[in-house]
Structures are given as structure tokens and as C-alpha cells.
A and B are shown apart, each in its own frame.
Chain A
Amino acid sequence: MKRQLALLDFAMGSLRRRAGKSLALVAGLAFVVGLFGSALLLTDALKREYERGTEAMPDLTVQRLVAGRPSLIDAAAADALRDIPTVREVRPRVWGYFFFRAIEANVTIVGVDAARIDGDPGLATGRLPRAAGEVAIGTALGELLGLRVGDELGLPVDGEMTFSRVVGTFGAGSALRSADLVIATPAHARTLLGVPEGAATDLAIDLTTADEAPVVSARIAERLEGARVLDKRLLRRTYELTFDTRGGLLAALLVPALAAFLLLAWERLTGLGAAERQEIGVLKAVGWGTADVLAARIWESAAIAVSGAVLGLVAAYLYVFWAGAPGLANALLGWSAIQPPMELAPSLDPVQAFAILGAVVVPFVAVSVVPAWRAAMIDPDRAMRGAS
């Protein structure tokens, strides 16, 4: 212990003597870990956010395909499915998109029966629409159009302006899901979207036994020609795979940056200066063993690696969760006009944090071992004379 403390003391002194080089390595490492960590933290948080929402999906969603494209489905088709064993409820849904020229963006209009919603619907002000001519809107949309509760929003339907009174607005806290939403009653959504009476966008099906979903899906496909059935459990598994793949791809793109940095570190650590060689020569001449020189060099590398990696992790965390990942999020989310603030819930546990740190610290210390060993093997007499 005493020996290691003394070696640590020496290592810290060495780092201080080469402060410029040490700080450059710490900054480089922090930058690489910051990039790598930001991508991982962002994709992981998005994945968890999606997972939290999958519970709200109906067990099965039935769409109708015509000529290979999604089409409106006959709402009466619901009656043909209600007698399938384990089917608890079949709800024809009306929802769709509306392009707003004023803001050059699509908004999502969803028909919702307020009586079906128990618990808090996530509104910041007002209530959900209960009558035709009422709507609740998302925060980002409200801000872009300057709408508040009590205002009226007129949308052109069949050549005439149809006005809807805003009766509720979603809060900024739920903007991740509500930014571009316009919630209306199913009948009013039908009017706004121009969906004919008796037609629906899709059918939502709840089952008494979720495990029966594959069997029920097969029965639905038999009964409804051109039906495409989406299974909630399948979707959950797909999200898992998709985000792991996406996150992996993003991280893989950054691997060359990490590899390049390790190469640079190797080159820096290998190239001992004349002063360092002389220093090692003196140390060995006064009785330091090879193991001591090796240990002191490893302490130096470990101090740089841990400092850089931890600073990088903290920077990545602050960038993604405090600053909302500006730049990275914009690049990922494209050219949409309505973008909610990226206020994601972190999904970071100690294992993940130490895995990110370990992925950088271990290879960095490992690449420093060989140069350290080479330095420790220098003949003291030759080293003091300045020979390589």
C-alpha cells in the first residue's frame, strides 16, 4: 500500500510536469466518450419512452389494405369480429393527418370518446372535447398558431371553413406525445378528416386473454379480406430490436473515432521524450525496479482514462437530458416543423454507466501497458546518456 502510494505520488508529479499533454489526452477522451455516450443515452431513453406507451395500445389493430395501401375500413366489419372467442371489445377508430399550410406541417387529428378515458388525460388546461365542434390541442401546435382555451380554429372542410372551439390544451410535460395532436370527438374528427359515415381508419380490439392474439389474428384474416392485423406484443418486441439496432448502428459509427483516439494515445504514450528516458534512467539507477516503473506509468494512464471517461459521461448526460441534445436531435428528427422539447426521462442505471466507462478506460489503460513496459526495460546507463 505504502509502495503504491509512493508510486501514485510520483505518477501525479509526472502528470503535472506534462500538464499540457495530459490535459489534451483527458479532453480528447472526454470528447470521444461524450459522443459515444450521447448516442447511447439518447437511443436508450427513446426506447424506454416507447415501451411506456405500448401498454396503451389495443391488443390488436386491424387495418384494411386496398391495392397494397392502407385504406378506410368499414366500421360495420367490427360486428363480424365481436363473436370471436376472447374478443372483449372492438372499437372503430377515426384518426388521420391534416397538413397545415400556415406552419408547413402535418398535425394528427384523433377521434376520442372522452367517456372511455379514465384517469388524467394529461391536459394542462381545460378538458377533453365532449361535443362536436370542440377540440383539445397539443402545446407545440397551440404555440405555433397562438391558440388558447376559448379560441376557435377554422379548418377548410369540403370548401367551407369549419370552426372548432379549443376546450383543452396539453401541457409541455406531455409534449413528447401531444405536440402535434388535435383531439376531437369521433364524429367531429370524421368531419374534419372527411371520413365518410360508416367508415373508420382502423379497428382497435381488446382481448380477454392477450396470449390468444396470434389465434385471433388468424381468425380476423379469414373473416376480413385484405385485413392487416398488428399485434401489440409483436410491436413491443420490434421496438426492442429496432432501437437496439439503431443505437448499435449509431454507436458503431462512432467506433472509428474511439479507435482513432486509442491509436493517437498509443502513439503519444509510446514516443518517450529524451527527458522522460533520462528520468526513467535515473529512477532505475537509484533502485527502482521494472515493476515500479510499470506501475507508475499505469497509474498515470488510469488517472487520465478515468478523468476523461467520467467527464465525457457527465457531458453526455448533461447534453442529452439537461440541454435536450441540440444538434444530434435535430439531425435525427429531420425537417419537421413541429418539434417538441426533447425532455426525455433518463434510463441510466449504475451497470450501464460503468459499462460505458469500462468500454473506454480498459482499452486505454491496456494500450498504455506496452509502452510502459518498454519504458521500464530501458537500460539505466543508456537512458541517462539519452540513448533511445
Chain B
Amino acid sequence: MSRRFVPGRRARWALVGAGAPFALVAFVLIDAARLTAARAGRSASVARVTETPDLALSSSARWLRHPSQSEAGAAFSDLPASLDVDPAGALLGPPREVLEAGAPEAVEIRSAR
């Protein structure tokens, strides 16, 4: 008499568990599609206004703010957005006094409230 094979409890849990990674990957892909739909192109309208593709991620140096503009003597001297020697702004910035030298006096704000 042949006995019917019954998978062990652990194997059944493992088979159920095997679905979990797929579910997690599916969650990531679905959420990525949702975020892409919500976020992609939100700032593209600003690019149409300024006519540059550059992101305002770092305004610390002009070649980081506008990599699309090649700057002789700066990081992108040869080609727009070419690989710069400065790893995206460097962890250490120059002393503030250097930036402030020659900068205009403080701005003024008049509140409408």
C-alpha cells in the first residue's frame, strides 16, 4: 500500500514563505511606479522656465549647481557635466570667510503681514 506524501509543516511554511520575497519585490515595484507617477516631471516645468536641466541639489559651487554649463578653469572646463575632480562638493567646504569676501551686505526683508 503506497502512502500519500504529506509535506512537513516546515516545508509548507517555507513554500508560503517563498511567496514573501516575491510579494516584497512586487511591493517595491508597485510603489516605485506610484512614486514615479507622482514625482516624475514635477520639477520639469521649472526646467522649462529656466531652460536648464540642472538640479538645485547643491548651490555651494556653480559647477555643481549648473553642470550643464561648462566653465573654463572650473571642474567642467572641458565638457559640460564631465567627471569633476571634486567629489560632488567635497565633505569639507571652504571657510565661510572666503565666500563672504567681496559679497554684498546683508539683504533686507519687508513683510507684507
Contacts and interface: CB of A to CB of B under 8 A. Distances in A.
Contact of A12 (B14, B27, B104, B107): B14
Which 5 pairs, one residue from A and one from B, show the smallest C-beta to C-beta distance? Answer: A334-B89, A53-B53, A150-B112, A335-B93, A154-B108
B69 A174 contact: no
B105 A156 contact: yes
A218 interface: no
Given A53-B52, A138-B56, A152 B112 contact: yes
A170 interface: yes
Contact of B40 (A16, A52, A140, A335): A52
A325 B46 CA distance: 23
Interface string A128-171: 10000000001010000111111111111100010100000010
A335 B86 CA distance: 12
Interface string A90-106: 00010101111110111
Interface string B89-108: 11111001001100111111
Contact of B79 (A204, A238, A344): A238
A148 B56 CA distance: 20
Nearest to B64: A334
A317 B31 contact: yes
Interface in B5-19: 5, 7-11, 13-15
Contacts of B56: 108, 138, 140, 175-181, 338, 340
Nearest to A110: B50
28 contacts: A12-B13, A13-B8, A50-B55, A53-B43, A53-B44, A53-B52, A55-B44, A56-B51, A57-B53, A58-B51, A69-B72, A106-B62, A108-B56, A122-B46, A148-B113, A151-B110, A174-B43, A177-B47, A178-B43, A181-B56, A183-B50, A204-B51, A230-B70, A238-B80, A314-B28, A332-B87, A336-B58, A353-B28
A50 B53 contact: yes
Contact of B39 (A173, A177, A350): A173
A39 to B, nearest CB: 13
Interface string B20-57: 11001101110110011011111111111111111111
A49 interface: yes
B32 A112 contact: no
A6 B7 contact: yes
Interface string A331-347: 11111111110111111
Contacts of B36: 345-347
A310 interface: yes
Given A6-B11, A177-B54, A345-B38, 12 more contacts: A8-B7, A9-B8, A108-B59, A108-B66, A176-B56, A177-B50, A317-B31, A331-B91, A334-B61, A335-B90, A338-B56, A345-B39
A239 B81 contact: yes
Interface stretch (A113-121, A273-281, A371-379): A113-121
Interface residues of B, number: 81
A135 to B, nearest CB: 12
Nearest to A346: B32
Interface stretch (A60-68, A80-88, A254-262, A264-272): A60-68
A240 to B, nearest CB: 10
B1 interface: no
Contacts of A16: 10
B100 A101 contact: yes
Interface of A: 2, 5-6, 8-9, 11-13, 16, 46, 48-58, 61, 63, 65, 68-70, 93, 95, 97-102, 104-108, 110, 112, 117, 119-122, 128, 138, 140, 145-157, 161, 163, 170, 173-181, 183, 202, 204, 228, 230, 234-235, 238-239, 242, 245-246, 303, 306-307, 310-311, 313-314, 317, 321, 331-340, 342-350, 353-354, 357
A56 B47 contact: yes
A57 B53 CA distance: 7
Contacts of B109: 145-147, 151-154
Nearest to A104: B96
Contacts of A100: 107
A9 B10 contact: yes
A77 B54 CA distance: 26
Given A121-B48, A178-B46, A357-B25, A9 B69 contact: no
Nearest to A342: B57
A97 to B, nearest CB: 6
A174 B42 contact: yes
A347 B88 CA distance: 21
Contact of B8 (A6, A49, A183): A6
Contact of B10 (A13, A140, A234): A13
Contacts of A156: 104-105, 107
